[in-house]
Amino acid sequence: MSINIDSKLPAVGTTIFTVIGELANRHQAINLGQGFPDFSAPQALLDRVDYHIQHGHNQYAPMAGVATLREAIAAKVEQSYGRPISADREVTVTPGATAALYCAITACVRPGDEVIVFDPAYDSYEPAIQLSGGCAVHLPLLPPAFAIDWQRVKDAINPRTRMIILNSPHNPTGATLSADDLATLAELVRDSDILLLSDEVYEHLIYDGETHQSLLCHAELAARAFVVYSFGKTYHVTGWKTGYCIAPAALTAELRKVHQYVCFVAVTPIQLALADFMRDCPEHYRQLPAFYQRKRDLFCERMSGSRFRFSPAKGTFFQLMDYSEINELDDMAMAEWLTREKGVAAIPVSVFYKEPPAARYVRFCFAKQDETLIKAAELLCRI
C-alpha cells in the first residue's frame, strides 16, 4: 500500500548539523562543526540539578516556567539592560530557544504574511514561517562585514510585512548590531504593525570591549519584540535544551497560547537548578566574554599561519574562514573534504543562504578545550 503525503516542508531534509556530526563521528574527526562545548558545565550547577532530582522536584513545572527562574531572569535583564520587566507577564521559559522562536512565529504569522530574514540565516526560521503559511523574504548580509543593508530593508517592507527576524551576535558570521542599527530599525518600523523577533542566544559572547545591543535596551523596539535567549549557550549545557522568551504582556499571552500546546513546559529540575545558580553565581555570565575571547584568540593565533583568511569574530563562538586560496570546491564539498581527509569538521555557510554568495566560507566552532583547538589548528595549517 502506498500513502501519498503532501509534505508541508518539501524542500527540508536532514539538518546540516546532523549530516556533518555523523560524518565527523564516522571519520573520527575533530568536530568544530556543531556548536557545542566539549567541556563541562560548572560543577555547582550540575550539583543543583542532582539536588532537585533527588529531592523529588520531578513533576510538571508551571506552564510559563518555574517562578524562581522567571524572577531570576527578570532581575538579570534589569541588571544587564536596564529594563524592568514582569516575571509573571513577560517571561516564558521554553524547552530550548528554537521552541521559543517557533512559538513566536506561529503565534503571529498568518497565511500571506511576509517575514524578513537575513542570510545567512539560522535554519529553523524559514520552516516555522512556512508552516504558518507565511513567506520568508531573504535579504543578504554581504561579506566581509556581514552588515545589514538598511536601504534594502526599507525597500522590502510593504503592507504584507508582518515580522523582521534579527540575530545578534549573529550565527554563523559573528557579526553584531550597533546602537545605530537599532535606531535605524526603529525609524523603519515606526507607525507600522511590524513585529520583531530577536534571536540573542549569544548575548554574552561578544568581544573586544564591545557591548551587546539588545532590543531590550531600546524601549521603542522592545515594545514590539519577542527577544529569545538560551541557557544552553550561557552555561555550556546545550543538551539541556532550555531557553526563554521576553516580550510585552500582550505578545507573551499570544506566545503562551502556542507554547502550551507545542511542549507545555520545560524540564522542572533543570529550571530550579538554573534559578539557584543564577542567584548564587551571577559572576558566571559576566566572565563569559573574556572566557570565550581567549579561546577565539587562541584559535585565530594558531590559524594565522594557515592558508585560510579571516577576521576575528566579533561575537558568538564561531569563526568564519575563507578558503578561496586553498581550492575551488564548493563549501559543502570543502566541509566534507576537511572532515574525511583532514580530520577536522566544519559547517558550510551556503546552507544558511537562499542564494549563496560567490565567496567561499566554512564555519568553525571554538567552544572547545584548548588542546582540541590547538590540535585542530595544527591539522588545518598542514593544508
Model pLDDT for residues 339-371, shown as the tens digit of each residue? 999 999 999 999 999 988 888 999 999 999 999
* pLDDT value for 15: 86
Q: What would the grid cell of residue 68 be?
A: 524562581
pLDDT tens-place string over residues 212-243: 999 999 999 999 999 999 999 999 999 999 99
Contact 343, 27 (CB under 8 A): yes
The architecture of the domain spanning 16-41+284-381 is Alpha-Beta Complex (3.90)
- Rounded CA-CA distance 124/241 in Å is 15
Its CATH class, for the domain covering 47-280, is: alpha beta
With beta carbons less than 8 A apart as the criterion, state whether 26 and 340 touch. no
CA 134, CA 136: separation in Å to the nearest integer? 7
Average pLDDT on 197-213 reads: 97
Residue 80 has pLDDT above 90, yes or no: yes
**pLDDT for the residue 142:** 85
Q: Which H helix or E strand runs over 130?
A: helix 125-131
Give the span between the Cα atoms of 338 and 308, in whole angstroms.
Answer: 13
How large is the average pLDDT for residues 67-75?
98
Distances in Å between the Cα of 256 and the Cα atoms of 104, 263, 265 are 9, 10, 10
Residue 358 pLDDT: 81
Q: How far apart are CA 203 and CA 176, in angstroms?
A: 10
* pLDDT-based confidence at residue 4 (cuts at 50, 70, 90): confident
Q: Which amino acid is at 322?
A: D
**Dihedral angle of Cα 86, 223, 235, 285, to the nearest 10 degrees:** -90
Residue 119's pLDDT is 97
pLDDT of amino acid 11: 84
pLDDT of residue 155: 98
For residue 15, give the amino acid letter. T
For residue 5, the model assigns a pLDDT of 86
Within the chain, which residue ranges are assigned CATH 3.40.640.10? Answer: 47-280
Q: Where in the chain is the domain with CATH 3.90.1150.10?
A: 16-41+284-381
Q: 219, 133, 202: which is closest to 166 by C-alpha?
A: 202
Q: Is residue 222 within 8 Å of 248, Cβ to Cβ? A: yes
Q: Inter-axis angle of helices 370-381 and 283-303, to 10 degrees? A: 20
55-64 pLDDT per residue, tens: 999 999 999 9
pLDDT on residue 53? 98
Q: Identify the three-state secondary structure at position 301.
A: helix
Instruction: Return the pLDDT at 260.
Output: 97
Question: What SS3 state is found at 230?
Answer: strand
pLDDT band at 380 (very low <50, low <70, confident <90, very high): very high
Q: pLDDT, tens digit, for every residue of 242-264?
A: 999 999 999 999 999 999 999 99
